[in-house]
Amino acid sequence: MKKRSNRGAARVNAIWLIVLLVLFFASLFFAVTANDEQGRAEKNTEIALADTARAQAELETLQVKARAITEIIGYFDETDLSAITESQALKDGLEALKDAIGTDAEAANTFEDAWPLAISQVAARNITIGTVTQESKDRSTQLAAVRQSAAETASEKDAELSTARQEYSDLESNTREQINNLEKQVARLTQERNAQDQAAIDARNELADLRVTMALNENANTSRLAKVTKITRPLREPSATDGEITGVSNKLNLAWINRGTMDRAVRGMVFKVVDANAANPRLKGEVEILEVFENTSKVAIRMVSDQYDAIAIGDKIANPLYDPEGRRNAVLAGRFDGKYSRQEVALMLKEVGIDVQKEVDQSTMFLIMGNPLYTDPETGESLEEAREVSSLPAYSKAKSIGVQLISLAEIRHFFRR
């Protein structure tokens, strides 16, 4: 600690010494100059000595109090019993305290003003420290609980891991044994498969030879059958007519035909109109059925070949798939999708008395040719190139026995939906 100056105390002592000397010399003066007043001077001397003793006692009391205050404030010399705090040191201490308090202590000019602010800040900080300390204790408690839980979980996982390792070891051992058995089975099955593959190759070769023989026989039989069929089977000529025009309204562009529901006529069916009275029948136009009645139908005139040769009563009508009498059979070959799907075409043909068969035979009247195929009809696999209907076996057989060929375009034309 910095040593404090004792000059103030020395000044007080010097003053009292001077007072004592003055009194002493005054007493001597009075004794020399006034013997008659000696008694009075002695009395005054006693009074002065008493006052001096009292002043000395008061001085010592004040020194004790100053010492006590100085000990509380600090900044004094502990080795000197009369040392007191220096004013400059107090000012420096006050400024340091204000700096510590901050902006709240700018107006504080004394320790008395600064202490309450410092105390309030210390109290607030003690509260904050207490809160943080409590939170720290709570976090420590939570951390201890988490660590305990983690330790328990780790112990459980270690036990499970040990069990799993044992199970894996057992499974690995069993798997090796199963793999060995399977490898033996695979080796045996491979030998059997090789033998079966060879047998299959032999069977395919034999089947190929048999197919060639059957194809030769089928072609021969088909040719013979075609010759017989042309002679014995009554075919309906594609150019045959199916009815006639019974009424015409050129202004309304309408006409009527003598075919109705009793004759299997259906709405949307299209007929060619020909002049049957001419030496060489010529196409005069086309009509489409709009409404169907029992024995007649109202048709719209869709096309006229010659505006100066209008459709008239008595002209004949024809549709290559229409027959007012008897049932007929047809086979669908190729791809049918979109609006004219295979099911839709089959239903449309059934309305006009045509049943759909799976394969071409002697009862087949029509072969309906769809679009080219993009997948193999037997395996369903995609083809590298589209397969035309004319390359299908059904087409060849249909041509050989004289089946009438109808394209999907004709279906769209003569049966509008």
CB 330 within 8 A of CB 398: no
Q: Which two tokens stand for residue 116?
A: 């309450």
Rounded average pLDDT per 10-residue block, the chain, 417 residues: 56 76 76 66 80 80 69 67 68 76 73 77 83 85 86 85 84 83 84 82 74 64 49 47 91 93 89 80 91 95 90 91 83 89 90 90 92 83 87 92 90 83
Q: Are residues 332 and 415 in the same domain?
A: yes
Q: Are residues 303 and 364 in the same domain?
A: no
51 domain-assigned:
yes
- Report pLDDT for 263: 87
Q: Are residues 316 and 334 in the same domain?
A: no
Q: Are residues 296 and 330 in the same domain?
A: no
341 domain-assigned:
yes
397 domain-assigned:
yes
- Report pLDDT for 66: 64
Q: Are residues 315 and 346 in the same domain?
A: no
- Alpha-carbon separation of residue 164 from 107, 156, 173, 178 (angstroms): 76, 12, 14, 20
- Report pLDDT for 34: 61
293 domain-assigned:
yes
62 domain-assigned:
yes
**Of 322, 346, 366, the domain-final residue:** 322
Angle between helices 7-33 and 38-73 (to 10 degrees): 180
Strand partners, 257: 245, 297
- Looking up residue 358, the CATH number of its domain turns out to be 3.40.50.10190
- Report pLDDT for 218: 63
Q: Are residues 297 and 345 in the same domain?
A: no
Q: Which two tokens stand for residue 279?
A: 């030496």
292 domain-assigned:
yes
**Of 85, 119, 144, the domain-final residue:** 85
Distance in angstroms (rounded) separating the CA atoms of residues 363 and 382: 32
Q: Which of 226, 276, 395, 257 is nearest to 322 (CA)?
A: 257
Q: Which two tokens stand for residue 53?
A: 């003793």
397 is in which domain, residue-wise? Answer: 326-417
CA 64 and chain centroid, separation:
88
Q: Are residues 333 and 296 in the same domain?
A: no
179 domain-assigned:
no
Q: 143-146: long-range contacts (C-beta < 8 A, 24 or more apart)?
A: none
How does DSSP assign 321-378, residue by residue? T--SSS-EEEEEESB--GGG-HHHHHHHHHHTTEEEESS--TTEEEEEE-BPEEE-TT
- Looking up residue 307, the CATH number of its domain turns out to be 2.40.10.410
- Report pLDDT for 216: 63
Q: Are residues 244 and 311 in the same domain?
A: yes
Distance in angstroms (rounded) separating the CA atoms of residues 96 and 100: 6
- Report pLDDT for 223: 54
- Alpha-carbon separation of residue 320 from 246, 331, 358, 365 (angstroms): 20, 15, 21, 11
406 domain-assigned:
yes
Q: Are residues 299 and 352 in the same domain?
A: no
Tell me which residue has tokens 């202490």.
115
Amino acid identity, residue 330?
A
Q: Answer whether 0.85 is exceeded by the pTM.
A: no
Burial label, 60 (beta-carbon count in 10 A; 0-12, 13-18, 19+): exposed
Q: Which two tokens stand for residue 71?
A: 């000990």
Alpha helices per DSSP H over 7-86:
7-33, 38-73
Q: Are residues 314 and 377 in the same domain?
A: no
Q: Are residues 318 and 242 in the same domain?
A: yes
CB 288 within 8 A of CB 299: yes
Q: Are residues 245 and 298 in the same domain?
A: yes
When divided into structural domains, the chain yields a total of 3
**Of 85, 106, 138, the domain-final residue:** 85
